[in-house]
């Protein structure tokens, strides 16, 4: 397997991570936009998540070009006897999924418990109640991680079938 193929998978793996981070930021932005009084500022609030999502799609699309440019003419072969491109993609998706799942599970459970306690408390004024943003960030990351873990092999098979060798 060529080094450029490994670079391709790593860049695409990072682009999936950037996409998930952009979607989390977008969800939190929509929650926070209700507090912004002026409509001109609301468009500025959408700029960071939109740029993050755009960078993720651009990195995905430019991954083959970057994979050719980084090693240049000295694209050496890494000898891995039984590892196919599909296996490499599957490993990448499952690794990213496990990272997302394990890094967000405790926060998601903690914030869910806190949000439940706050929503059941009747003596709190509305200013003290937690926003959905605090729960949505770890929850979106957790769901994305679980999707990568359980659907990663399927996505890897589709990607490796459609992939043109770099």
Measure Cα distances from 66 to 22, 51, 90, 165 in Å: 22, 20, 21, 13
Per residue in 150-163, pLDDT (tens digit) is: 888 888 888 888 77
What DSSP line would sit under the chain, residue for residue?
Answer: -BHHHHHHHHHHHHHHHHHHHHHHHHHHHHHHHTT---HHHHHHHHHHHHHHHHHHHHHHHHHHHHHHHTTTT--PBP--TT--HHHHHHHHHHHHHHHHHHHHHHHHHHHHHHHHHHHH-SS--TTTSPPHHHHHHHHHHHHHHHHHHHHHHHHHHHHHHHPPP-
Residue 139, pLDDT > 70, answer yes
State how far the Cα of 64 lies from the Cα of 109, in Å rounded to an integer.
39
How would residue 54 be classed by pLDDT, with cut points 50, 70 and 90? very high
Most confident range, picked from 41-45, 73-77, 104-108, 113-117: 104-108
Q: Bridge partners of 77?
A: 2
Q: Residue ranges of the domains in the chain?
A: 3-102+148-162
Rg (CA), the chain: 20
Residue 166, pLDDT > 70, answer no
Residue 1, pLDDT > 80, answer no
The pLDDT value recorded for residue 91 is 82
pLDDT mean over 3-16: 82
State how far the Cα of 23 lies from the Cα of 39, in Å rounded to an integer.
22
The pTM assigned to this predicted structure is 0.58
What dihedral do alpha carbons 153, 155, 161, 163 form, nearest 10°?
-120
Higher pLDDT, 17 or 41: 17
pLDDT mean over 22-44: 72
How would residue 129 be classed by pLDDT, with cut points 50, 70 and 90? low
pLDDT mean over 49-70: 88
Per residue in 77-113, pLDDT (tens digit) is: 766 677 777 888 888 888 888 888 878 877 777 777 7
State how far the Cα of 81 lies from the Cα of 84, in Å rounded to an integer.
9
């Amino acid at each position: 397997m060529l080094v450029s193929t490994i670079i391709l998978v790593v860049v695409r793996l990072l682009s999936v991570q950037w996409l998930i981070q952009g979607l989390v930021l977008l969800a939190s932005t929509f929650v926070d936009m209700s507090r912004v009084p002026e409509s001109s500022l609301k468009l500025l609030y959408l700029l960071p998540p939109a740029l993050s999502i755009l960078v993720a799609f651009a990195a995905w699309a430019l991954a083959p070009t970057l994979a050719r440019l980084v090693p240049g003419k000295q694209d050496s072969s890494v000898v891995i006897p039984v590892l196919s491109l599909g296996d490499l993609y599957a490993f990448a998706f499952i690794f990213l999924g496990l990272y997302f799942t394990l890094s967000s599970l405790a926060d998601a459970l903690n914030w869910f418990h806190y949000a439940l306690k706050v929503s059941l408390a009747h003596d709190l004024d509305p200013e003290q109640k937690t926003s959905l943003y605090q729960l949505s960030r770890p929850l979106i990351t957790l769901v994305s991680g679980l999707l990568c873990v359980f659907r990663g092999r399927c996505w890897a098979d589709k990607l490796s079938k459609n992939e043109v060798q770099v």
